[in-house]
Amino acid sequence: MKIAERMRTLFDLRADPLVITNHLRQDEKMAGLVQAYPGLRLPGAWDGFEIAVRAILGQQVSIKAANTLAGRLVKAYGDPFQIGEDVGLAYLFPGPERLAEASLSEIGLMPGRAEAIRTLARAVLDGKLVFSTAIRLEEIIECLTALPGLGPWTAHYIAMRAFSEPDAFPAGDLGLRRAVAESEVAMLTESQLRQSAEAWRPWRAYAAIYLWQHYSSFKKEGRK
């Protein structure tokens, strides 16, 4: 049953896409996206701590760079993992007990970001941050931003992925700001995007998923 519950969270199987899309399509901007990409869900996480660490690794770097750092981290601190045949899985992601006092300098991480990961790990070990506990969005953001090195973008992204919070919204995200402006050059200000997103409550996290999908599509098309 525990595995089944985690799978429901991972694939957002508790969501009702009709309720969400019926609400979002009331907004002119979102109506076209809901029609273009029907049924998008909010991807969860098998392990909230891993997602939180990866969010920190992804701050202000490309996805490729973040994945490189994550690969170095699991090789340096994760436990080797084998299931017989080579299926591309070599290590288990290190838990908070392994990273709470880890140097992390050897993987090429800046000191501030390394300390953010260590502080996050200690908060989990101390019980100050529990990913399995359902708490309000405001409490999640307050708890996360109280940790050094975690700003609003990181906190809202962790709330989306690790807590499956349907109204989390990283308004400072460049991709979201460009997606609403429909340009790879121009973008809305964070304040403008946050104002537009008020119409998408209480499903702003789903709106973000639609906007990221839209931004990815028009980047591939080379639209300006």
Residue 173 a catalytic site member: yes
The answer, yes or no, to whether residue 202 has pLDDT greater than 80, is yes
Residue 57: its pLDDT value, please?
A: 95
The answer, yes or no, to whether residue 184 has pLDDT greater than 80, is no
3-state SS assignment for residue 80: strand
The answer, yes or no, to whether residue 133 has pLDDT greater than 80, is no
Residue 81: its pLDDT value, please?
A: 83
The 10s digit of each residue's pLDDT in 60-113 is 888 899 999 999 999 999 998 877 666 678 899 999 999 999 999 999 999 999
Residue 222: its pLDDT value, please?
A: 58
CA distances from 98 to 69, 83, 115 (A): 16, 22, 14
pTM of the predicted model as reported, rounded to 2 decimal places: 0.92
The answer, yes or no, to whether residue 52 has pLDDT greater than 90, is yes
The 10s digit of each residue's pLDDT in 157-173 is 999 999 999 999 999 99
- Is the backbone peptide bond immediately before 202 cis, with ω within 30 degrees of 0? yes
Q: Mean pLDDT of all residues in the chain?
A: 92
Residue 60: its pLDDT value, please?
A: 84
Residue 104: its pLDDT value, please?
A: 95
224: number of Cβ within 10 Å: 9
Min mean pLDDT across 26-35, 127-136, 191-200 is at: 127-136
Residue 220: its pLDDT value, please?
A: 66
Residue 17: its pLDDT value, please?
A: 93
Structural domains in the chain plus CATH codes: 2-43+168-221 (1.10.1670.40), 48-162 (1.10.340.30)
The answer, yes or no, to whether residue 224 has pLDDT greater than 70, is no
Angle, alpha carbons 207-208-209 (nearest 5°): 90
The 10s digit of each residue's pLDDT in 11-23 is 999 999 999 999 9
String of DSSP letters for 3-49: HHHHHHHHTTTT--HHHHHHHHTTSHHHHHHHHHSTT------S-HH
